[in-house]
Amino acid sequence: MNPIIVPIHRKEILVEDGMLFVRTDGILETMVKAPLIIAGLIVVALTMPVQFSFSSTRMLDLTLYSDGSAHISTQIDVDPLEPDFEVNLFGPSIDNFVVVGENGFLLSSEIIGDKATIDTLGSSSVTIDYDIHDLISKDGRFWTFSLDSPITYSVLMPPNSIIVGMDALPSSMDVVNDQIKLELGTGLSEINYIFSAPTISATPSNITEQPIIDVSTIALIGVPIVAAIAGAIIVIKRKQTKFLPVLQTEETPRLQIENDSIETTLNEINFSEAETIFNFRPEMREDDKEIIKFISNNGGQALESELRKKFLQPRTTMWRAVKRLERQGVIEISKKDLQNLIKLKKDLEDEE
């Protein structure tokens, strides 16, 4: 009979007649542990979708501009344990992309197409702001805004805009600084609107009433006035030689008055230049108008650092305002000593 080698770790017992016996030690313990292991796997499987869906949008606000662009501000909850996360943007034409963490620090990001990869740096909530040019189109004088949103959101319409059509009923409608604000739900929404021409209201300041005076009244008032003027001229001519040295000594105050008059005239010219731009772009925002007035009074040009110092705005906010004015065609940006020089355009071209 040939010898049979049995491994030490096996629990089987072989006998000479070829029958196999298996020990049942530990079977009861295995039967108790198996359901516990299966239940643990089920719990892990159920929690995995929760972990992947931890990144969610909490807030979404849009502001539409008259040049066809839109500003998006959104707040997203993210997993602070993940080093970065990817967010889908509403289009590939992105400008002025800024991400701020919950601690107020700027976060680095990389944009490829319509997706952005953001470094969280341990933040559980991030705020994203950017300008986009893919949500608004124009056909003639009709503008169309379209957005497929995953959550409810708000839309602030441009100034002087009139809504002429909508494919979705807003949950609320309000007026903020003469601008229409809508609250819209999830899904695809489309708004059609036009711009109304700015109206100039007739006020007592720009209407001069002509007094009605008859001929007799003119005669009664005019004759004494003419006589008084003639007498004053005669007296001045007689005393001109006496006061000539005094007039020569007062030359400096007279020159000062002339300089003040010249400065006043220059301010009026600058104000007229700013008014020309405002008439060219009547839908311009009020804060942008203040920037144009400052540049105009500064000789038609100013450094971006001077604008930030004047209006106490951070770098990103002022840069968005400058780029917005550049898109409207009222300024041009150039470099001067490694700084951005903002100049008013002399020849304004209407893009309408």
Q: What is the pLDDT of residue 337?
A: 82
pLDDT in tens, 136-146: 999 988 999 99
3-state secondary structure of 45: helix
Both 186 and 289 in a single domain?
no
In a domain, residue 203? The reply is: no
What lies within 8 Å, CB to CB, of 186 at 6+ separation is 149, 150, 151, 152
Poorest-confidence range of 27-41, 115-129, 255-269? 255-269
In a domain, residue 90? The reply is: yes
In a domain, residue 101? The reply is: yes
Average pLDDT in the 234-252 region? 51
327 to each of 8, 269, 304, how far by Cα in Å?
Answer: 84, 25, 16
Q: What is the pLDDT of residue 220?
A: 57
Element (H, E) at 151: none
In a domain, residue 222? The reply is: no
pTM above 0.75, yes or no: no
Element (H, E) at 279: helix 251-280
In a domain, residue 62? The reply is: yes
In a domain, residue 206? The reply is: no
Could you tell me the CATH number of the domain that includes residue 331?
Answer: 1.10.10.10
Report the distance separating Cα 77 and Cα 339, nearest Å. Answer: 37
User: Residues 76, 102: contact at Cβ < 8 Å?
Assistant: no
In a domain, residue 36? The reply is: no
For residue 329, the enclosing domain spans 266-352
Poorest-confidence range of 41-50, 115-124, 279-288? 41-50
Residue 14 has pLDDT above 60, yes or no: no
Q: How many domains does the chain have?
A: 2
Q: Which parts of 298-337 fold into alpha helices (H)? A: 304-311, 315-327
In a domain, residue 157? The reply is: yes
**Contacts for 84-87: CB closer than 8 Å, 24+ residues apart:** 84/117, 84/118, 84/119, 84/120, 85/55, 85/117, 85/118, 85/120, 86/115, 86/116, 86/117, 86/118, 87/55, 87/115, 87/116, 87/118, 87/128
pLDDT, greater one: 51 or 339: 339
Could you tell me the CATH number of the domain that includes residue 79?
Answer: 2.60.40.1730
